[in-house]
Structure 1
Amino acid sequence: MLSNEQKNQIKTQGMPLDTVEEQLKNFEQGFPFLEIQNAAKIGEGIRVLDKQKLQKAIEDYEAAAPSKVLVKFVPASGAASRMFKNLFGFLEEDNPSLEKDSFVRQFFDSIKSFAFYEDLDKELKKTGSSLDDALKAKNYTGILRVLLEDEGLGYGNLPKGLLKFHAYGDENRTPVEEHFVEGAQYGTGKDNTVRLHFTVSPEHQKKFEEKVAEVKPAMEKKFGVKFKIDFSQQQKATDTIAVDMENQPFTEEGGEILFRPAGHGALLANLNEIEADLVFIKNIDNVVPDRLKDTTTRYKKAIGGVLLQAQSSTFKALEELDEGISESSVENARKVFTETIGGKLPQSFSSMGLEEKASFLREKLNRPIRVCGMVENTGEPGGGPFWVKEADGSLSLQIGETAQLNLDDPDQQAKFNSATHFNPTDLVCGIRDYKGKAFDLMAFRDPKTGFITQKSKSGRDLKAQELPGLWNGSMAHWNSIFVEVPLITFNPVKTINDLLRDVHQ
């Protein structure tokens, strides 16, 4: 039960009281598991574009792009601290030894292969030593402190987007700069403009703005396009209340209720404010050097083309239903839903009357559309593609995270294990309806697909709640098309040594 004082705190947070009460109820009741019917596979939910279809999709996209408002939406608030977990651990040891730590040994053996090598050398010279001198003296902790701490390069406290990832002959680029280059290659839309939108944390926005101001003029000159850069932060109103182990609001020493950021699902509110015809979504760290960008560019254009093709058929079917409900217009809408979108109708559909069929199909088709790239599952963590049964009996394609599934159930575990692909946060989204009006994306999420996790604060255990993930529960009621894309398009950087892989050199 919330006290009046707590209710006032919630209002101050900018959150509706009923939202918080719903969150408290979720802690008590838990979230239902997502019951998967089957894994989506090649030919059964995942499409493969042969050479002809790939080229047609690319051509369709290239023909339409100059008249479309395109936005590249990049979640970029991730801190780099997790990338350096092993290096921080090395610093905290009493007697750190490279012989005992293969990760740190690899880091130092290949230190000259990192794009930040020259910056680190310059920073060390300010202390009266060079990097070579420090390596000869085996002053490994001294090198790491200059790399990670704020008195040096401060890499341990920067966001991933502002670390130097890739070395070129004449420049070294951060992920932010690589997204500029990618944007110019496949995201040039209306008014010859590349629109990039970065979601950032408040403490880092100024640094992002400084980097953008530094590189934008040269990028515009290099590619002959205009760049429009926007930033947004995770909205405070999307934070979720934390509770103690008895599901009562977790209060801090001063009596204030603790609210916590609600995971990447909170970014749905940011996405909902984007004004665009198509939105590409891709994580900040999934970038490659120029020599490998061609495949990424081709497949980004291709999934954009697949979306435009699906939109064209869907919009036409909806317009025909508006003109008049007939055997012909309903049959066309049915074909678009089952063949173009790839949905599966409920058994009850065949016994519906014509008006009822039209109403059913109109509701199914008039939704945001997303085309998701799927790569072969190589053991990386990520959401898998599954068929899920809807309340109305139809089957839809969903991206399911392991935390959503009841893997104690042998049947669900077997279906989960049979998945051959996963989604590497590679999406293009159509967020306008057939009349050109923006969808309210909040109306198409499944609020019952959140997560509850156990955390601690000031030595006390607490339970935290994450909103439905951006590309799973937050898009649960979108129309989804899954397309296989090459594994080379997925190159995340989870640890600093990932930058030593060939794809980042």
Structure 2
Amino acid sequence: MEFTNKDLELLQEKGIDQNEVKRQIETFKEGIPFVRLSKSAVVGDGILKFSPSEEQQYIDTFEKSKEGLLLLKFVPASGAASRMFKAMFNFLEAYDPLGESLDEYVARTNDTAIKEFFEQWEKLAFYKLIQNRIVGKAKNKDEEKYLFVKEMLLEDGLNYGFYPKGLLPFHEYGDTTATPFEEHLKEAAAYATVGGKSNLHFTISEQHGEMFNEEFNKVGDRVSTATKTSFTVGYSFQKSSTDTIAVDMNNDPFRNSEGTILFRPGGHGALIENLDEQDADIIFIKNIDNVVTPRYADDVSKSKKILAGLLLSVQQKAFEYARALEGDTVNSELLNDCKAFLEDELNVRFSDSFATFTISNQIDVLKDKLHRPIRICGMVKNEGEPGGGPFWIKDGNGRISLQIVESAQIDLSNSNQSEILKTSTHFNPVDIVCGVKDYEGDKYNLLNYVDPKQGFITEKTKEGKALKALERPGLWNGAMAYWNTIFVEVPSTTFNPVKTVNDLLKPAHQVK
């Protein structure tokens, strides 16, 4: 394709290379192949499950080793609350409190989300705040409920419908409420702290930077005093250079009404660049909306320490083998031991022809398998929650690896693939502990371990016209495809995401 001068100016402004745009257009033309599932990862075959004594062993390993390490809590937090309130926005559009009762509305629309919401709305951390703001304004109980939702969502009220999710009041503590941002500070104090100091990094939308700063200024001292922890908080934004081009249904660049090329955010997979810029020995990754009240705080802290202890344990062995392979006394026993370690503890699979390789080639292969970032991923038993899951997959070259796979990546029309999906026992809660440095302490370039073939193509509309959009490989999917991966079963109590406002009504988000 040929770019106009305006196109080139836009590419320069965004920091996007022409060849990258052309590659993306080729991806649209070629399509993105489905992931080929080999089998589900289950306990005993891809997922570890520890006994109480093993758990304590890894906790001890972490506690003894962490003093000389730099720990970081990395929290993707750019999500807006608008999707969380989708049912509530629909309610404002569809309901006239002076024209029908709420019961009549629910019966007419079968809006079970609204019914559930108003059955328990007193449990919301912001219930009293909103009631105080609308007191005396409603003619009846049904209008009061309508005004409550309006005050909650819209700009001339509290404007929660347009807040970053991380700054909504999630939990009520008597005289105060706590946002997910504050709860992540408390979590970090519990397990990601060395010498009374804790480091956190939030990826946020650029327009919300001042709001997050205000929240930290408001709650930071309070949490520091309560936890005896000093916090260093950093922020970064999803880079415009990671935006991806949109195309029309003929795979030509989609142009806005004024003629400019349309670029769209590349999805959470773009955050691999933000993660790559962090310098820490252990990085804990967890989404902004997955926070808990004090009743489950110990479960979360304990689980994170177990995962981190396991990381340190296998990392130490990997480093020992990496050093040994650089030595002058490499023999067949060392090669066999290293291969067994990679297979048994890091889930690496080798080609059947590996045994026929020369010693020199075997060493090269083992070095390549060892010299990779390591991720320990918590997995929760499947109880119907949406999300990706752990699977053994086979790539186009027949190589088998352990991956987190989203259902959108699976060809559900293929009966074999569909059956494998049905056998899945666990799902991905985004509970990851990362080791991103090699045995010499140098950080890996994480962009070298992305599988670009694991992106997503979706269909959207803009200005009434159909278009195709491209999402980059997900942060914990294709963006980490070539990491060494270990899955560990973690308690379901550690996973309490808030995808809709009604999730805040669940017992896990009630302090009392």
Give the TM-score category using the shorter length: over 0.9
**Counterpart Cα distance in 1 of 2:289 and 2:475:** 17
Aligned residues of 1:115 and 1:164 also touching (Cα < 8 A): yes
Query: How many angstroms does 1:395 deviate by?
Result: 2.4
Residues 435-462 of structure 1, C-alpha deviation per residue, up to 9 Å, x if partnerless? 1001000000101111100011111111
Question: What residue number does 1:353 align with?
Answer: 358
Q: Number of paired residues? A: 499
Question: What residue number does 2:306 align with?
Answer: 302
**Counterpart Cα distance in 1 of 2:509 and 2:348:** 38
Corresponding position: 1:105 with 2:105: no
**Counterpart Cα distance in 1 of 2:378 and 2:407:** 19
Corresponding position: 1:85 with 2:86: yes
Corresponding position: 1:494 with 2:504: no
**Counterpart Cα distance in 1 of 2:399 and 2:266:** 30
Question: What residue number does 2:30 align with?
Answer: 29
Answer with 222-231 or 1-10: which moved more.
1-10
Query: How many angstroms does 1:105 deviate by?
Result: 2.6
Question: What residue number does 1:364 align with?
Answer: 369
**Counterpart Cα distance in 2 of 1:435 and 1:305:** 20
Residues 8-41 of structure 1, C-alpha deviation per residue, up to 9 Å, x if partnerless? 4322321111111100000111012211211111
Q: Which residue of 296, 310, 318 maps to 1:314? A: 318
Aligned residues of 2:102 and 2:142 also touching (Cα < 8 A): no
Give the root-mean-square deviation of aligned CA atoms: 1.6
Query: How many angstroms does 1:59 deviate by?
Result: 0.8
Q: How does 1:173-322 map to 2 (within 5 A)?
A: 173-189=178-194, 191-322=195-326
Corresponding position: 1:58 with 2:59: yes
Q: Which amino acid aligns with 2:162?
A: N
Aligned residues of 2:196 and 2:229 also touching (Cα < 8 A): yes
Aligned residues of 1:344 and 1:395 also touching (Cα < 8 A): yes
Query: How many angstroms does 1:98 deviate by?
Result: 2.5
Corresponding position: 1:434 with 2:444: no
Residues 370-398 of structure 1, C-alpha deviation per residue, up to 9 Å, x if partnerless? 00001111222211111123566542211
Query: How many angstroms does 1:410 deviate by?
Result: 1.3
SS where residue 458 of structure 2 aligns? strand
Identity of aligned residues (%): 43
Corresponding position: 1:119 with 2:129: yes
* Unpaired stretches in structure 1, ≥5 consecutive residues: none
Q: 1:338 to 1:388 in 2, by over 3 A?
A: same
**Counterpart Cα distance in 2 of 1:109 and 1:448:** 46
Answer with 82-91 or 463-472: which moved more.
82-91
**Counterpart Cα distance in 1 of 2:60 and 2:175:** 33
TM-score (norm 2): 0.94
Q: How does 1:320-469 map to 2 (within 5 A)?
A: 320-324=324-328, 325-390=330-395, 393-469=398-474
Query: How many angstroms does 1:94 deviate by?
Result: 5.0
Aligned residues of 1:61 and 1:308 also touching (Cα < 8 A): yes
Residues 46-90 of structure 1, C-alpha deviation per residue, up to 9 Å, x if partnerless? 000111111111111111222211111111111111111111111
Answer with 69-78 or 400-409: which moved more.
400-409
**Counterpart Cα distance in 2 of 1:119 and 1:207:** 19
Answer with 282-291 or 350-359: which moved more.
350-359
SS where residue 60 of structure 2 aligns? helix
Q: Which runs of 4+ in 1 moved over 6 A?
A: none
Aligned residues of 2:35 and 2:409 also touching (Cα < 8 A): yes
Answer with 302-311 or 411-420: which moved more.
411-420
**Counterpart Cα distance in 2 of 1:123 and 1:199:** 32
Question: What residue number does 2:49 align with?
Answer: 48
Q: 1:391 to 1:28 in 2, by over 3 A?
A: closer
* Unpaired stretches in structure 2, ≥5 consecutive residues: none
Query: How many angstroms does 1:417 deviate by?
Result: 1.5
Corresponding position: 1:2 with 2:2: yes
Residues 104-128 of structure 1, C-alpha deviation per residue, up to 9 Å, x if partnerless? 2322232221111122123225xx5
Aligned residues of 1:343 and 1:394 also touching (Cα < 8 A): no
Aligned residues of 2:35 and 2:395 also touching (Cα < 8 A): no
Question: What residue number does 2:75 align with?
Answer: 74
Aligned residues of 1:193 and 1:225 also touching (Cα < 8 A): yes
Q: Which amino acid aligns with 2:126?
A: F
Aligned residues of 1:115 and 1:172 also touching (Cα < 8 A): yes
Answer with 410-419 or 102-111: which moved more.
102-111
Answer with 254-263 or 61-70: which moved more.
61-70
Corresponding position: 1:14 with 2:15: yes
Q: Which amino acid aligns with 1:31?
A: I
Q: Which amino acid aligns with 1:41?
A: V
Aligned residues of 1:98 and 1:104 also touching (Cα < 8 A): no
Query: How many angstroms does 1:312 deviate by?
Result: 0.4
SS where residue 212 of structure 1 aligns? helix
